[in-house]
Amino acid sequence: MTEKMFNIILGSILLFLSSCAVFFYLTEQRAETVASNNPTSHSITPPPSSKPKKTNATPENNPTETEKNTNKKEENNPNKDATSDNGVPEIIWGIDSASETSEEFYACVREHFGDPVVFGRYLGDIEGVSKGLTAKQVKLIHSKGDYILPIYNHFDNATGYENGVSQAKEAIKLASEIGMPKGIAIFADIEPNYPVDSEFIRGWFETISNSQYKSGIYGVFDQEQNLSKAFNEAIEKNQDILENNYIWTAAPNIGITTQAKAPKYTPEAPENSLVWGWQYGIDAESCNIDTNLFKGALVDVLWGP
């Protein structure tokens, strides 16, 4: 092949390629023009979701009645800065009464004093002295979210070991008859005018402690009172009394108050004892109650809802 012929062939190829390029360019421009003039070309808006919108009306943001009552009790508690291991405020307010528990009674307490967490009530009737706790009253107290502190007061002489044993057995019987569960503390009511000695305390404690229940003692534990002296003598003979008996003291007595004006927790009782309750005011003119403060940990051995 001569050089002339090669140049002719090469020129023809380049001309063909140039023609193809022009053709494809014109075709692409025409397609873009048609597309830009097409009125049916538009974006599609997705349909609205059929799922309901979320609201704040959840159980977490709408507390139950029980939670509302609990919050109210805590708001009215002047000793609410700390909590016990069980989640209850470290110090809680409560009442005790010898009167029959009813809706009217609760209404009186809430109107004049506050909303108790602990409610001290008596085991068994004593005519002219105290109305005993009934199954109906237990249900009512628990419906309010309150804990029952059981009180035994069927004696007026707190002397003698055998007497302590006998009274403890009667307390256990009354508690069992009303259906009180195991592990609850029963408090022997030793009034300041009762004769008392260490043997009664030992008999009471050792009998209750060997049952399904726990031992508690109520009284004026002022260091000058015979009760405090008898208690200290009892622990010399049985150290377990100091470590495992719950004390609900009525010393000092500073007078009835409302829940909102309750004092700081400053009870008087034997050193190193489990003084977990303080009846700081007695004989309210309204509602027939006494006012108290308790350590929150005490509810673990009270009859709860």
Q: What is the pLDDT of residues 145-194, one digit of tens each?
A: 999 999 999 999 999 999 999 999 999 999 999 999 999 999 999 999 99
**Amino acid of residue 167:** Q
Task: Tell me how long the chain is.
Answer: 305
Q: How much is the pLDDT for 86?
A: 73
Least confident of 3-7, 215-219, 232-236: 3-7
Helices (H), ranges, the chain: 3-36, 65-75, 103-112, 135-143, 161-177, 198-209, 226-237, 240-244
Q: How much is the pLDDT for 4?
A: 55
Supply the DSSP string of 224-287, one letter for each residue: TSHHHHHHHHHHHH-THHHHH-EEEE--S------STTPPP-----STTSEEEEEEEE---SST
For 96-126, write each residue's pLDDT tens digit. 999 999 999 999 999 999 999 999 999 999 9
Pairing assessment for the beta strands 91-96 and 290-295 based on DSSP bridges: antiparallel
Q: How much is the pLDDT for 248?
A: 98
CATH number 1.10.760.10 given to 65-301: no
Q: Give the 3-state secondary structure of residue 91.
A: strand
Model pTM score: 0.75
